[in-house]
């Protein structure tokens, strides 16, 4: 009995060690430095759009937001793109990819059930975004419009939401 227990325990230790090793090698997300929200993650590699959970959401900067090259934290407003009787619902944690020229943010919303909905505009839900470093000379880009299948809607004619050269924020509504 002791031999079986030791073999089982040995296998369990091996599985746990292998899991930690695979997680360490994955490079999927890195921790944000202490000065930002510890719950926010930033993607080290390109966002895998097809694997993102939830339904399509698009975002804009609130009207009173003052983004500069030094900004590391700001708020976005997210709305569900599909008809939802005016209610966006829960916004999932945004996926963020920082490149040399852009900060791409994909803000998805929780899955909605299959019932029928009316199609007034949905509400805008504020969500905090914390970056691991200042925006610098990068554009803020709505990744749903850039990477997703939403480019056909008028809200996604331009995926840029803030431009460092002009300092202009693109508002959707």
Paired with 36 in beta bridges are none
Q: Are 159 and 141 in contact (CB under 8 A)?
A: yes
Confidence of residue 50 (pLDDT cuts 50, 70, 90): confident
d(CA 164, CA 70): 10
Q: Are 94 and 127 in contact (CB under 8 A)?
A: yes
| 109, burial (CB in 10 Å: exposed 0-12, middle 13-18, buried 19+) | buried
User: What would the pLDDT profile of 113-157 be if each residue is shown by its tens digit?
Assistant: 988 999 889 999 999 999 989 999 999 999 988 887 655 566 777
d(CA 30, CA 138): 20
Q: What pLDDT, on the 0 to 100 scale, is given for residue 34?
A: 39
In this structure, what are the phi and psi dihedrals at residue 62, rounded to the nearest 5 degrees?
A: -60, 155
- Give Dmax over CA atoms of the chain in angstroms: 73
Q: How many CB atoms lie within 10 A of CB 138?
A: 20
Span between the terminal Cα atoms of the chain, in Å: 69
Which is higher by pLDDT, 149 or 94?
94
Secondary structure class of 25 (helix, strand, coil):
helix
* Tokens (6 digits) for 145: 């419009």
The residue extents of the domains of the chain are 42-162
Q: What pLDDT, on the 0 to 100 scale, is given for residue 17?
A: 38
Tell me the percentage of the chain whose pLDDT exceeds 70.
69
d(CA 81, CA 133): 29
Q: What pLDDT, on the 0 to 100 scale, is given for residue 5?
A: 36
Is the four-CA dihedral 30, 33, 34, 35 of positive or negative sign?
negative
The mean predicted confidence, pLDDT, of the chain is 77
């Amino acid at each position: 009995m002791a031999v079986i227990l030791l073999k089982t325990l040995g296998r369990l230790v091996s599985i746990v060690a292998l899991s930690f090793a695979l997680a360490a090698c994955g490079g999927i997300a890195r921790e944000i430095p202490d000065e930002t929200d510890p719950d926010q993650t930033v993607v080290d590699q390109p966002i895998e759009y097809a694997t993102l959970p939830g339904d399509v959401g698009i975002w804009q900067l609130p009207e009173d937001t003052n983004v500069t090259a030094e900004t590391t934290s700001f708020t976005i407003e997210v709305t569900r793109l599909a008809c939802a009787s005016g209610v966006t619902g829960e916004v999932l944690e945004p996926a963020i990819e920082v490149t040399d020229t852009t900060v791409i943010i994909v803000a998805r919303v929780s899955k909605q059930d299959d019932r029928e909905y009316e199609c007034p505009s949905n509400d805008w839900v504020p969500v905090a975004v914390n970056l691991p470093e200042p925006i610098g000379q990068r554009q803020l880009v709505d990744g749903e419009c850039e990477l997703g299948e939403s480019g056909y809607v008028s809200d996604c004619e331009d995926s840029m939401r803030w431009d460092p050269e002009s300092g202009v924020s693109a508002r959707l509504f």
